[in-house]
Amino acid sequence: MKRVLLLLALISPALAWGAAGIPAFSSAPGPGGSTNYTFSIEALLLLTALSFLPALLLMMTSFTRIVIVLSLLRQAMGTMTAPPNQVIIGLSLFLTFFIMAPVFDKIYETAWVPYSENKINLVEAGNRAAGPLKSFMLKQTRQEDLALFIGLSKTPPLNTPEETPLKVLVPAYVISELKTAFQIGFIVFIPFLIIDMVVASVLMSMGMMMLSPVLISLPFKIMLFVMADGWNLLISSLVQTIQL
């Protein structure tokens, strides 16, 4: 967890400055024996950058895909609030750290360690930190989505995909993740939808139209998911869809 926090600090220049140590307040003697206090602009930038960390975590990692698939699974099962949102977000967060661990380790070794040893400056550390993230996002991004944002931004022709600027790559990566997540969610929905259809057909054939099919199908869907070891199958399949 300590490495993750350090790596997130590298993504934002303000946070990197904070890691090196920033005096938040400075004082200067004033007239009549008074003291004037000033707030450091670097510390202000550091506090401002903290608000961007959730967006960076959501938009530049596999968190979006995981949380959408888990939410669609809950809807498909019809359990509504089980598992609760806190569990889904927490599981998605730790799965994201698990999946992104090789990327974070590479950033830590190539960018943070040299910067902390004063072997490279802040700009070079930021460029090195962006490299592994770019490589990860490019593997998940569809060419059509990347071409769309390159055209919209009127970016000059690129020699290699690695030259794609983050302002173009991040939105292309996000919409690619959204499409992939909904495709996986559609597949997850199918077995539960079949159970709903079978239960509804049986109830109609028995003339029990006043009884809610959802109420009857819910135990069968839970039983199917548990007997098939659904969490194991879903998480393993979800992790395998992400290319590292």
pLDDT of 152 higher than 80: yes
What is the distance between the alpha carbons of residues 118 and 15, in angstroms, rounded to a whole number?
16
Helices (H), 118-227: 122-140, 143-153, 166-205, 213-227
Q: Which two tokens stand for residue 8?
A: 């997130």
Contact (CB, 8 A) for 91 and 69? no
6 pLDDT more than 70 = no
Judged against a pLDDT cut of 70, whether residue 57 lies above it is answered with yes
Alpha-carbon gap, residue 88 to 177, rounded angstroms? 18
Give the mean pLDDT of 211-239: 84
Amino acid (1-letter code) at residue 21: G
CA distance 66 to 241: 11
**How confident is the model over 124-128, as a mean pLDDT?**
80
Q: What is the mean pLDDT of residues 158-184?
A: 86
Q: Which value, in Å, is the radius of gyration of the alpha carbons in the chain?
A: 25
Looking at residue 26, the DSSP 8-state letter turns out to be E
| pLDDT computed for residue 34 by the predictor | 53
Mean of pLDDT over the chain: 78
Asked if the model's pLDDT at residue 37 lies above 60, the reply is no
Average pLDDT over residues 74-80: 84
What is this structure's pTM? 0.75
d(CA 117, CA 20): 11
pLDDT of 66 reads 92
- What does DSSP assign to residue 32? G
60 vs 134: CA distance, rounded Å:
9
Residue 91 identity (one-letter amino acid): L
104 burial level (CB within 10 Å; 0-12, 13-18, 19+): buried
Q: Is the separation of the CB atoms in 240 and 100 below 8 Å? A: no
User: What single-letter DSSP state applies at residue 228?
Assistant: T
